[in-house]
Amino acid sequence: MSVRSRLRSAFVSSSYKVYLRLFGGGTDLFQVSERIVEYPFAVEAALQLPKGSTVAVFGCHADLLTTLLPTLGFDTHGVDVKEFRLPREGFTFHKEDARKTSFPDAHFDAVFAISTVEHIGLFDADETGDQKAVREMLRVLKPGGMFVVTVPFASSSKVIPMFERIYDRASLIQLLEGFEVEAICPYATEPGALWHPIRIEDAPAPQQKTNCAALVRARRPPQS
């Protein structure tokens, strides 16, 4: 092997190690995020809706659902405080705070919030920002409308300042007050293993980096 080839090989090897250290948690196995189970869960739920349904993605900035849901035939609206002008047919962006939107009551057939609720309010000293946002999502849902939300989950709740909340069973149920919960599906990961389903009672202790997530499907109760 020539000197140039050896140098190239050493550079590639060193670059790959740096890449793994920065994005793979420092392990030899790339650490796949919880999106690998969250998005299939959300799409599976969406497929229960009639085509043409009006749906909202809260926290839509860089969310894959903003392209998937229009492709599936849904009138998709994205909500985020960060600018996100996506030029795609079937998608409309609304630059608004999830805690107080301009949508009328009972407007959407479904609302999706993927790894979003846990951050709301932590950057402007609103301790109950997550609850306010979920109440707003309940307001804009039609009676019987579907709510799909995913959050970090653990055996006990925890707040990581300026980052996220981690929910346990009690705090998650409190967050979902007013909804009829159809499914809570927790998934976890560990070093050297991909995300896999677990029982709620087997949720690990909270950590600084999300290693367990709850995937929830619920509905706004129908009008009596």
Residue 149 has pLDDT above 70, yes or no: yes
- Radius of gyration (C-alpha) of the chain in whole angstroms: 20
**Phi, then psi, of 151 in degrees rounded to 5:** -145, 160
Confidence category of residue 86, pLDDT binned at 50, 70, 90? confident
- Across the chain, mean pLDDT equals 90
Q: Which amino acid is at 217?
A: R
Residue 214 has pLDDT above 90, yes or no: yes
Pairing status of strand 141-152 against strand 158-160: unpaired
Q: What is the pLDDT of residues 98-132, one digit of tens each?
A: 999 999 999 999 999 999 999 999 999 999 999 99
Task: Give the pLDDT score at 1.
Answer: 59
pLDDT-wise least confident of 29-38, 40-49, 133-142: 29-38
pLDDT-wise least confident of 16-30, 95-109, 129-143: 16-30
Q: Indicate the DSSP class of residue 59.
A: S
Task: Give the pLDDT score at 28.
Answer: 43
Task: Give the pLDDT score at 84.
Answer: 85
Dist CA 63 CA 177 (whole Å) = 25
**Phi, then psi, of 133 in degrees rounded to 5:** -65, -40
Both tokens of 44, joined, read: 């599976």
| pTM for this model (two decimals) | 0.86
Task: Give the pLDDT score at 164.
Answer: 97
